[in-house]
Copies of this chain bind each other. A is one copy, B any other.
Amino acid sequence: MNVTARKIINDPVYGFITINQPLIFSIISHPYYQRLRRIQQTAMGQLVYPGAVHTRLHHSLGAYHLMSCAVAELRSKNIEITREEELAVKAAILLHDIGHGPFSHALEHTLVQGVHHEQLSLKIMHVMNEELNGQLSLAIRIFTNDYHKPFLHQLISGQLDVDRMDYLTRDSFYSGVSEGVIGYDRILKMLTVHEGDLMVEEKAIYSVEKFLVARRQMYWQVYLHKTVLAAEKMLVKILTRARELHTRGEKQLDTQSALDFFLGGFDGNMNIENLEKFCSLDDHDVMHAIKRWSGHTDPILSLLCRRFLNRQLYKCKIQAAPFDPAFIAEKENEVIKKFNITAAEVHYFSFTGEASNTLYQTRDEKINILFRNGEVKDISEIDNALIHQNLSAPVKKNYICTLT
């Protein structure tokens, strides 16, 4: 390595992020990666938290930084990670979200129907791997958990992976929701590997508790905040309406971007050509479309678009119990009258749904604590656990959104 091939990036969250390997440079300067600069990490979170305008690119750089730290920590504990593995695991984390489309999760199953973003990430990695002459092969094996050191995969995707550590840290930092701050540095210092699996040392128990509580807080305060929810549902309804009009052959919808294809011709077959189209999409296409459609002749589409742009969102109510059918019907009648729409169209103006969040799923996931005496226990099984069985069930809440 020579000195000029070293770059440091300022990051308000971690201070500096160092890049010093040619492959990492190649990935970051790739147009597919640069595209992530144009996709906001928390979608409509910024309508409630004006600071939360950070991007997928920034998140993946942050996760890459934490991965560098994690590798250094594990090595200092004599856990072997070769230079090739280090490079692979860093490449994999940089690319873990490369398959996200406009507004990330908010539009995940609306825009490109039937394909999960992790599958898209994998497909794109394969395309890039060819361009990079196989330099990503090991990264792909680790990403798909097809490598004999499971802890490397767990660093990318697991209960305590660097992805979650970064997004909780970064989302709470940018939103200003201090309740979501986790002690990522302490957790990193406490990571260890036992029989091939990633664990944390006994001393990290309170940091892990805090991590899980912080996640819970971020869900209810940010990701599932009623106004954020209302905005994201409005986004979905706008695209749903556009697709409906498309089906009817409405030509005026044309937005001069690949959006036209995904709202119209796309048949679910994500071949190379379509993948390339997908990789041309970002938040700007959607926002431009909404601005354009705000003058569309379809009154439903244009109203939703105008309302969205001016932040005149659905009124949203969230509660533990399901809503009373009479109450739902009342709201539906209100919007039918107010907006002069048909019963078939009512779902654009008033609808209910379910939002859920799990503090910690004791069944499927594990955060293993390695005790000094060699014992391994799940975080929910320790003495005086804050995170216990009862809390591990998913918490479901019901919401109703109505345009007023």
Binding site for B on A (CB under 8 A): 1, 3, 6, 8-13, 15-16, 18, 20, 29, 31, 34, 37-38, 46-47, 49-51, 53-55, 57-58, 61, 76-78, 173-179, 181, 183, 185-186, 189, 206-207, 209-210, 213, 216-217, 220-221, 255-257, 280, 282-285, 287-288, 291-292, 309-312, 320, 359, 383-384, 386, 388, 390-391, 395
Contact = CB atoms under 8 A, between A and B. Distances in A.
Contact of A256 (B8, B256, B320, B388): B256
Contacts of A206: 179, 217, 220-221
Nearest to A177: B10
A264 to B, nearest CB: 17
Given A178-B181, A283-B284, A284-B287, 14 more contacts: A13-B51, A16-B176, A16-B189, A29-B310, A31-B309, A34-B309, A50-B57, A51-B58, A53-B55, A178-B186, A206-B217, A210-B213, A386-B386, A388-B390
A384 B55 CA distance: 32
Nearest to A36: B50
Given A10-B177, A176-B10, A384-B395, A50 B46 contact: no
10 contacts: A10-B175, A12-B173, A15-B185, A16-B176, A53-B53, A179-B207, A206-B220, A210-B213, A255-B256, A386-B391
Given A11-B50, A50-B9, A50-B57, A216 B386 contact: yes
A101 to B, nearest CB: 15
A257 B16 contact: no
A35 to B, nearest CB: 8
A179 B210 contact: yes
A220 B255 CA distance: 39
Contacts of A311: 29, 34, 37
The number of times this chain is found in the oligomer is 4
A178 B173 contact: no
The 9 A-B residue pairs whose C-beta atoms are closest, nearest first, are A10-B176, A288-B288, A12-B176, A284-B287, A320-B383, A31-B310, A50-B58, A12-B51, A179-B210
Given A34-B309, A177-B10, A206-B221, A20 B51 contact: no
B287 A291 contact: no
Given A1-B78, A178-B181, A217-B209, A54 B55 contact: no
Nearest to A175: B10
A292 B34 CA distance: 17
Nearest to A173: B12
Contacts of A310: 29, 31, 34
Contacts of A177: 10
Contact of A12 (B16, B175, B309, B320): B175
Contacts of A58: 50-51, 53
Contacts of A186: 16, 178-179
Contacts of A31: 309-310
B11 A176 contact: yes
Contacts of A77: 3, 6
Contacts of A257: 288, 291-292
A49 B210 contact: no
Contacts of A18: 76, 189
A10 B207 contact: no
Nearest to A174: B12
Most buried by B among A13, A55, A309: A309
A304 to B, nearest CB: 15
Most buried by B among A53, A54, A55, A77: A53
A55 B77 CA distance: 31
Contacts of A76: 6, 18, 20
A202 to B, nearest CB: 12
